[in-house]
Structures are given as C-alpha cells and as structure tokens.
C-alpha cells in the first residue's frame, strides 16, 4: 500500500541525506522498487526535486548578486529580462499581468492578516 505523499517525502529525504552518492535519479529509481511507488509518486518527487533545485539556484544567484553590490530589484529585473528574451509582446504582457496579479494577491493577503 502506498504511503501518503508527505510521509513518503519525509522518509525519502531522510534516506537521501544518509546516501553518500547523492544521485537523485538513481536514488529514486532504487526507492521506487523498494517501496513499490507508482509512476505518479515518482513524477511528483521528481517535480519537487526540480523546484527545490531551481529555488536553491536562484537563492545562491541572488546571494552572489547582493554580495557584489546589486540590489534585489536589479537582480529580479535581470532574471525577468532573461525569461522574457525572445518572447512575443503578447507573452511579455501575459507575464507582466501575472506578476502584477501576484503582487496584488500578496498585498491583499498581508492586509487581511493584519486585521
């Protein structure tokens, strides 16, 4: 019987910490066989790993930028410029709207938490 995702993820992260090789893909294939995980669970774990790696890369990149004297705003602008490079005007507008909507949601959520 398959475990729920939170327990499974916690168990896998603890096992991975103890693994000296630190090869995520090989580790997950091995654990898939041991635990009888579904393809969907492995897919979710791989996606989670990709998000963690992307977050870690961006956090390190931002830290390096700040250490070199760049502001967070400057770093974020350059990241957005990189993402938008080669995109159509319509795609750029869509991204700008997503960012604006996200900022509005953050402000609204902050205000409602203060009440």
CA-wise closest residue to 44 among 93, 92, 4 = 4
What are the pLDDT tens digits along the chain (115 aa)? 455 778 877 877 888 788 777 677 777 777 777 878 788 887 887 888 888 889 999 999 999 999 999 999 999 999 989 989 999 999 999 988 998 888 888 888 888 877 6
The answer to pTM > 0.75 is no
Cα-based angle 58, 62, 64 (whole degrees, multiple of 5): 115
Q: What single DSSP character describes residue 36?
A: T
CA-wise closest residue to 7 among 34, 39, 45, 40 = 45
Say how far apart CA 49 and CA 95 lie, in whole Å: 24
């Amino acid at each position: 019987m398959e475990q729920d995702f939170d327990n499974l993820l916690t168990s896998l992260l603890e096992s991975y910490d103890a693994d000296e090789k630190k090869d995520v893909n090989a580790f997950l294939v091995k654990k898939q066989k041991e635990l009888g995980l579904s393809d969907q669970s492995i897919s979710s774990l791989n996606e989670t790993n990709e998000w963690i790696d992307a977050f870690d890369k961006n956090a390190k990149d931002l830290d390096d930028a700040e250490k070199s004297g760049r502001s967070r705003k400057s770093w974020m602008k350059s990241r957005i410029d990189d993402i938008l490079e080669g995109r159509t005007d319509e795609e750029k507008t869509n991204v700008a709207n997503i960012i604006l909507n996200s900022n509005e949601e953050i402000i609204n959520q902050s205000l409602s938490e203060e009440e």
